[in-house]
Structure 1
Amino acid sequence: MSLIEAIIFGIVQGISEFLPISSTAHIVITQLLFGYSFPGLAFEIFLHLASVLAVMLYFWRDIWQVAAGFCRFIVKRKDSDKTMFNFGVYILIATFITGALGYLFSDFVGESMKTPVVIATALALTGVALIFIERVHRTGNKTPDTMTKIDAVIIGLVQTLAVLPGISRSGATLVAALIRGLDRDTAVRYSFLLAIPVILGSTLLGIGDVTMEIIDYIGPLNLIVSFIISFIFSILGIIWLIDFLKKSRLIYFAVYCFLLAAFVLVYIDLNTVMEV
């Protein structure tokens, strides 16, 4: 891998991780375009770790608020901390469901699912879901005070669909949260905070894929550069998405998903068939 390619991988991961367009699909597409086939999930995990560090840095106040309120309520049982305690519980519930189901399906959803047809289909489904939430579903008004455990369970179940390359984790959680009636600010905040334990959990599960062979294959310098670039562009992606959703709509991401799905089918899938 060249240094330029490492930078491109970092940019792709950083920008796409928190946008509702599937970072996994973008990394796989980039691999196919460059002709790479990374064994295991080591490289993806490495880039995802940079993204989760970015969201932890950006939302450190929210993390502290939830963690402090959660712990204080356990110790002191003050009503003023109950909202943050419940919000923390909702994050844990969705994380547990996603982690448990993701682990069960991990053998089924492997490298064999990272094909152009699967990715294109999943991207199209992501686009349809985003259009539905914008054009059909009414905006809710639930806040952390009025969320329920059922909301967390459903969001956790829907988030599990993101094991399929092309189904956006952030898109899935946003759509599920909005369908359950969360207001947009709460849905976005919940989605970002939920990303932290989910990505960290997948990192721990996939740590065994990190070997000296993959490090030598990619190159230590390229790994460091791609990590730094992914971190920087993840921060930029978070800032941009939050600002964008205040002014614009998710339907623009739906259009992008459709266009990318068509590109994958027409260009990448056709080339793959011709090479075979």
Structure 2
Amino acid sequence: MTLFEAIVFGIVQGITEFLPISSTAHIVITQMVFGYTFPGLAFEIFLHLASVLAVIIYFWKDLWRVIQGFFRFITKRQKEDKTEFYFGVYILVATCITGVLGKILSDVTADVMKTPPFIAGALLFTGFALIFIERYHKTGNKTEETMTFWDSVLIGLGQTLAVFPGISRSGATLVVSLLAGLNRDTAVRYSFLLAIPVILGSTVLAIDDLSESMIAYIGPLNLIVSFVVTFIFSLLGIIWLISFLKQSKLIYFAVYCFVVAILVYVFLDASMIMEV
């Protein structure tokens, strides 16, 4: 891998991780374009770690408040900590559902998930879901105080679909959160905080793939550069998305998904995977 390619991978991962356009699909597409195939998921997870670091830094006050409230309620049972405690529980519930079902789905469908037709179809699905939630569903008014256990179960099931390249994790959690009746601010905050345990859990599962041969294949300097670039662009992506959602529509992301799906289906041949 060249330094330029490491920078491109970092930019692609950073920009797409939290936008509802599927970072996994874009990383797979970038691999196809450059002619790479990485053993296991270690490199993808490595880049995801940079993205989750950006989330932790940006939302550190929210994260710390949830953690403090969660453990204070367990030890002291103070009423003012009840909301943060249950919000933490809902994050854990959705994470557990995603972890278990995601592992099962990825094992069953691993052979077909990273083909251009599959990615194109998944991107189309993401686009239609974004249009539906934007045009045909009335935004709810549930907040952290009023969301329920079953909301977290539903969102966890939705997030599980992100195991398929082309189904955006952030898009899935946003769409299902809004379907469950959460208001937009709560849905966005829940989606971002939910990314932290999901990505950290994926990192633990992929730790065996991080080998000396993989590091040598990519190059230590390239790994560092891609990590730093991913972190910077993830932070910029978070800031931009939050600002964008306050001012504009999810439908623009849907149009982008449609365009990329067509380009992937037309210009990327499945045989490219066999050649790399």
TM over 0.5: yes
Partners of 1:43 and 1:183 in 2: CA distance:
35
Paired residue type of 2:52 = V
Q: Which residue of 2 aligns with 1:62?
A: 62
RMSD between superposed Cα atoms in Å:
1.6
Identify the range of structure 1 (75-84 vs 256-265) with the bigger mean alpha-carbon deviation: 75-84
Q: Any conservation in 1 of the 2:15–2:233 contact (CA below 8 Å)?
A: yes
CA shift, 1:269, in A, is 2.5
Are 1:230 and 2:262 matched, yes or no? no
Are 1:194 and 2:194 matched, yes or no? yes
Q: What are the superposed Cα offsets for residues 46-86 of structure 1, whole Å, 9 maximum, x if unpaired?
A: 10010011100110000001011111111111111111011
Please, what TM-score do these two structures have when normalized by structure 2?
A: 0.97
Runs of 4+ residues deviating >4 angstroms: 273-276
Paired residue type of 2:229 = I
Question: Where in structure 2 are the equivalents of 1:1-276 lying within 5 Å?
Answer: 1-269=1-269, 272=272
Q: What are the superposed Cα offsets for residues 199-227 of structure 1, whole Å, 9 maximum, x if unpaired?
A: 00001001100111111110110000000
Q: Closer, same or farther in 2 for the Cα pair 1:270/1:47, shift >3 Å?
A: closer
CA shift, 1:19, in A, is 0.4
Q: Any conservation in 2 of the 1:127–1:257 contact (CA below 8 Å)?
A: yes
Please, what TM-score do these two structures have when normalized by structure 1?
A: 0.97
Partners of 2:161 and 2:112 in 1: CA distance:
16
Partners of 1:99 and 1:154 in 2: CA distance:
14
Q: SS of 1:107's equivalent?
A: helix
Partners of 2:209 and 2:275 in 1: CA distance:
28
Q: What are the superposed Cα offsets for residues 127-159 of structure 1, whole Å, 9 maximum, x if unpaired?
A: 000000001000110000000000000000110
Partners of 1:154 and 1:260 in 2: CA distance:
28
Question: Percent identity of the aligned residues?
Answer: 71
Unmatched segments (≥5 aa) in structure 2: none
Identify the range of structure 1 (111-120 vs 225-234) with the bigger mean alpha-carbon deviation: 111-120
Q: Any conservation in 2 of the 1:155–1:176 contact (CA below 8 Å)?
A: yes
Identify the range of structure 1 (263-272 vs 232-241) with the bigger mean alpha-carbon deviation: 263-272
Q: Any conservation in 2 of the 1:109–1:163 contact (CA below 8 Å)?
A: no
CA shift, 1:272, in A, is 3.9
**What is the aligned length?**
276
Partners of 1:210 and 1:220 in 2: CA distance:
12
Partners of 1:142 and 1:269 in 2: CA distance:
44
Q: Closer, same or farther in 2 for the Cα pair 1:51/1:116, shift >3 Å?
A: same
